[in-house]
A = this chain, B = another copy of it.
Amino acid sequence: MIKYPGGKIFQPKNNKRRINSSSAANRGMELEKIINESNVFYNENDIALITKRPTPINVIKVDYSSNARIVDAYFEKQSTTDYNGIYRGRYIDFEAKSCRNRTSFPLSNIFTHQINHLQKVIKQGGIAFFIIWLVLIDETYLVPADRLLEFQSNKTRKSITINELKKMGILIDEGLNPRLDYLKAVDRLFFNR
Protein backbone atom coordinates (compact mmCIF):
# COMPACT_ATOMS: atom_id res chain seq x y z
CA MET A 1 0.00 0.00 0.00
CA ILE A 2 1.40 3.42 -0.95
CA LYS A 3 0.45 6.60 0.86
CA TYR A 4 0.29 9.63 -1.38
CA PRO A 5 0.58 13.23 -0.14
CA GLY A 6 -2.73 14.24 1.31
CA GLY A 7 -3.25 10.84 2.82
CA LYS A 8 -4.79 9.33 -0.29
CA ILE A 9 -4.15 5.65 -0.38
CA PHE A 10 -3.11 4.04 -3.63
CA GLN A 11 -4.69 0.70 -4.12
CA PRO A 12 -3.50 -1.33 -7.06
CA LYS A 13 -6.42 -2.18 -9.26
CA ASN A 14 -7.44 -5.76 -9.00
CA ASN A 15 -7.29 -7.04 -12.52
CA LYS A 16 -9.36 -10.07 -11.66
CA ARG A 17 -13.02 -9.69 -12.38
CA ARG A 18 -15.23 -9.69 -9.34
CA ILE A 19 -17.48 -12.64 -9.76
CA ASN A 20 -19.62 -12.84 -6.68
CA SER A 21 -21.43 -9.56 -6.80
CA SER A 22 -22.58 -9.72 -10.40
CA SER A 23 -25.57 -11.42 -11.93
CA ALA A 24 -25.25 -13.88 -14.79
CA ALA A 25 -26.27 -11.21 -17.27
CA ASN A 26 -23.70 -8.79 -15.90
CA ARG A 27 -21.07 -11.46 -16.16
CA GLY A 28 -21.87 -11.90 -19.80
CA MET A 29 -21.69 -8.15 -20.28
CA GLU A 30 -18.39 -8.08 -18.44
CA LEU A 31 -16.82 -10.65 -20.76
CA GLU A 32 -18.14 -8.66 -23.72
CA LYS A 33 -16.61 -5.48 -22.31
CA ILE A 34 -13.22 -7.14 -21.83
CA ILE A 35 -13.22 -8.56 -25.35
CA ASN A 36 -14.25 -5.18 -26.76
CA GLU A 37 -11.40 -3.48 -24.88
CA SER A 38 -8.97 -6.06 -26.21
CA ASN A 39 -10.26 -5.46 -29.73
CA VAL A 40 -9.70 -1.72 -29.35
CA PHE A 41 -6.12 -2.48 -28.33
CA TYR A 42 -5.61 -4.81 -31.32
CA ASN A 43 -7.21 -2.26 -33.63
CA GLU A 44 -5.23 0.75 -32.38
CA ASN A 45 -1.97 -1.18 -32.65
CA ASP A 46 -2.76 -2.48 -36.14
CA ILE A 47 -2.61 -6.06 -34.89
CA ALA A 48 -6.10 -7.03 -36.05
CA LEU A 49 -9.44 -5.55 -36.95
CA ILE A 50 -12.13 -7.38 -35.04
CA THR A 51 -15.49 -5.90 -34.09
CA LYS A 52 -18.62 -6.90 -32.26
CA ARG A 53 -21.73 -7.12 -34.34
CA PRO A 54 -24.42 -4.92 -32.80
CA THR A 55 -27.47 -6.66 -31.39
CA PRO A 56 -30.10 -6.63 -34.15
CA ILE A 57 -33.13 -4.58 -33.19
CA ASN A 58 -36.31 -4.18 -35.17
CA VAL A 59 -37.38 -0.57 -34.93
CA ILE A 60 -41.14 -0.06 -35.04
CA LYS A 61 -41.56 3.58 -34.16
CA VAL A 62 -39.27 6.58 -34.03
CA ASP A 63 -40.22 9.88 -32.48
CA TYR A 64 -38.62 12.40 -34.82
CA SER A 65 -39.99 15.30 -32.80
CA SER A 66 -37.68 14.18 -30.01
CA ASN A 67 -34.25 13.84 -31.63
CA ALA A 68 -35.02 10.57 -33.46
CA ARG A 69 -35.79 8.74 -30.23
CA ILE A 70 -36.82 5.12 -30.71
CA VAL A 71 -40.04 4.62 -28.75
CA ASP A 72 -41.05 1.15 -29.93
CA ALA A 73 -38.73 -1.66 -30.95
CA TYR A 74 -37.85 -5.23 -30.11
CA PHE A 75 -34.79 -7.41 -30.05
CA GLU A 76 -34.34 -9.65 -33.05
CA LYS A 77 -32.60 -12.98 -33.12
CA GLN A 78 -28.95 -12.76 -34.06
CA SER A 79 -28.37 -15.02 -37.06
CA THR A 80 -24.62 -15.11 -36.68
CA THR A 81 -22.04 -14.98 -33.92
CA ASP A 82 -21.10 -11.88 -31.98
CA TYR A 83 -17.62 -11.15 -33.32
CA ASN A 84 -15.80 -11.20 -36.62
CA GLY A 85 -12.93 -9.52 -38.37
CA ILE A 86 -9.51 -10.02 -39.89
CA TYR A 87 -6.18 -11.13 -38.37
CA ARG A 88 -2.97 -11.92 -40.25
CA GLY A 89 -4.98 -11.67 -43.45
CA ARG A 90 -7.39 -14.40 -42.29
CA TYR A 91 -11.10 -14.12 -41.56
CA ILE A 92 -11.85 -14.58 -37.86
CA ASP A 93 -15.25 -15.39 -36.37
CA PHE A 94 -16.14 -16.28 -32.81
CA GLU A 95 -18.73 -16.41 -30.09
CA ALA A 96 -18.12 -15.53 -26.44
CA LYS A 97 -19.73 -17.52 -23.63
CA SER A 98 -19.73 -17.29 -19.89
CA CYS A 99 -20.05 -20.53 -17.93
CA ARG A 100 -20.90 -20.44 -14.24
CA ASN A 101 -21.19 -24.16 -13.72
CA ARG A 102 -18.48 -25.66 -11.56
CA THR A 103 -17.96 -28.94 -13.34
CA SER A 104 -19.48 -28.80 -16.81
CA PHE A 105 -20.45 -26.57 -19.72
CA PRO A 106 -24.01 -27.23 -20.94
CA LEU A 107 -24.00 -27.64 -24.72
CA SER A 108 -27.43 -26.01 -24.83
CA ASN A 109 -25.47 -22.76 -24.38
CA ILE A 110 -24.49 -23.01 -28.02
CA PHE A 111 -27.41 -22.08 -30.22
CA THR A 112 -28.29 -23.66 -33.56
CA HIS A 113 -27.75 -20.45 -35.51
CA GLN A 114 -24.27 -20.16 -34.00
CA ILE A 115 -23.44 -23.75 -34.94
CA ASN A 116 -24.65 -23.24 -38.51
CA HIS A 117 -22.79 -19.99 -38.85
CA LEU A 118 -19.49 -21.32 -37.49
CA GLN A 119 -19.72 -24.42 -39.69
CA LYS A 120 -20.07 -22.14 -42.69
CA VAL A 121 -17.10 -20.07 -41.56
CA ILE A 122 -14.96 -23.22 -41.40
CA LYS A 123 -16.24 -24.34 -44.81
CA GLN A 124 -15.24 -20.97 -46.27
CA GLY A 125 -11.73 -21.28 -44.84
CA GLY A 126 -12.14 -18.92 -41.91
CA ILE A 127 -10.91 -19.28 -38.34
CA ALA A 128 -13.78 -20.13 -35.99
CA PHE A 129 -13.70 -20.49 -32.24
CA PHE A 130 -15.38 -19.91 -28.90
CA ILE A 131 -14.08 -17.80 -26.06
CA ILE A 132 -15.41 -19.37 -22.88
CA TRP A 133 -15.08 -17.68 -19.52
CA LEU A 134 -15.27 -20.13 -16.64
CA VAL A 135 -16.68 -17.71 -14.14
CA LEU A 136 -16.13 -19.64 -10.90
CA ILE A 137 -12.43 -20.24 -11.48
CA ASP A 138 -12.07 -17.00 -13.45
CA GLU A 139 -10.18 -18.53 -16.33
CA THR A 140 -10.93 -17.93 -20.00
CA TYR A 141 -10.32 -20.50 -22.72
CA LEU A 142 -10.18 -20.33 -26.47
CA VAL A 143 -11.78 -23.44 -27.92
CA PRO A 144 -11.65 -24.11 -31.68
CA ALA A 145 -15.18 -24.35 -33.05
CA ASP A 146 -14.56 -27.55 -35.05
CA ARG A 147 -13.56 -29.46 -31.90
CA LEU A 148 -16.51 -28.32 -29.81
CA LEU A 149 -19.00 -28.73 -32.66
CA GLU A 150 -17.72 -32.24 -33.35
CA PHE A 151 -18.15 -33.13 -29.69
CA GLN A 152 -21.64 -31.69 -29.75
CA SER A 153 -22.66 -33.40 -32.99
CA ASN A 154 -22.11 -36.79 -31.36
CA LYS A 155 -25.18 -35.95 -29.27
CA THR A 156 -24.24 -38.55 -26.69
CA ARG A 157 -24.06 -36.01 -23.88
CA LYS A 158 -25.78 -32.76 -23.05
CA SER A 159 -22.71 -31.17 -21.53
CA ILE A 160 -18.95 -31.26 -21.65
CA THR A 161 -16.90 -31.39 -18.46
CA ILE A 162 -14.73 -28.40 -17.64
CA ASN A 163 -11.67 -30.66 -17.80
CA GLU A 164 -12.55 -31.84 -21.31
CA LEU A 165 -13.19 -28.25 -22.35
CA LYS A 166 -9.80 -27.13 -21.01
CA LYS A 167 -8.03 -29.91 -22.90
CA MET A 168 -9.89 -29.00 -26.06
CA GLY A 169 -8.77 -25.40 -25.91
CA ILE A 170 -6.06 -23.16 -24.63
CA LEU A 171 -5.93 -20.86 -21.60
CA ILE A 172 -5.99 -17.20 -22.63
CA ASP A 173 -3.47 -14.89 -20.97
CA GLU A 174 -4.95 -11.95 -19.14
CA GLY A 175 -3.23 -8.67 -18.49
CA LEU A 176 -3.64 -4.96 -18.73
CA ASN A 177 -3.26 -4.41 -22.45
CA PRO A 178 -4.89 -6.28 -23.99
CA ARG A 179 -7.07 -7.40 -21.12
CA LEU A 180 -7.63 -10.76 -22.80
CA ASP A 181 -4.87 -11.66 -25.23
CA TYR A 182 -6.89 -14.16 -27.21
CA LEU A 183 -4.98 -13.61 -30.44
CA LYS A 184 -1.92 -15.13 -28.77
CA ALA A 185 -4.02 -18.27 -28.37
CA VAL A 186 -5.13 -17.95 -32.00
CA ASP A 187 -1.45 -17.79 -32.98
CA ARG A 188 -0.71 -21.02 -31.20
CA LEU A 189 -3.76 -22.91 -32.36
CA PHE A 190 -4.16 -21.67 -35.93
CA PHE A 191 -0.78 -20.27 -37.00
CA ASN A 192 1.60 -22.65 -35.19
CA ARG A 193 3.42 -19.77 -33.57
Q: Footprint of B on A, CB under 8 Å?
A: 43, 46, 48-49, 51, 53-57, 59, 67-76, 79-80, 84-91, 93, 117, 120-121, 123-126
Contacts and interface: CB of A to CB of B under 8 A. Distances in A.
Given A57-B59, A86-B126, A74 B79 contact: no
Given A120-B43, A126-B86, A54 B57 contact: yes
B57 A68 contact: no
A124 B68 contact: no
27 contacts: A46-B123, A49-B124, A49-B126, A51-B53, A51-B79, A51-B80, A53-B53, A53-B54, A54-B54, A54-B57, A57-B57, A67-B74, A70-B70, A70-B72, A70-B74, A71-B72, A73-B73, A85-B91, A86-B91, A86-B124, A86-B125, A89-B90, A89-B91, A89-B124, A89-B125, A89-B126, A90-B91
Given A46-B124, A54-B55, A86-B124, 15 more contacts: A46-B123, A49-B124, A51-B53, A53-B54, A54-B56, A55-B57, A57-B73, A67-B74, A86-B121, A86-B125, A89-B90, A89-B91, A89-B124, A89-B126, A91-B91
Contacts of A71: 71-72
A70 B57 contact: yes
Contacts of A84: 84-85
B80 A74 contact: no
A72 to B, nearest CB: 7
Closest 5 CB pairs of A and B: A89-B125, A54-B56, A86-B91, A70-B73, A91-B91
A69 B67 contact: no
Given A46-B120, A123-B46, A69 B72 contact: yes
Contacts of A88: 125
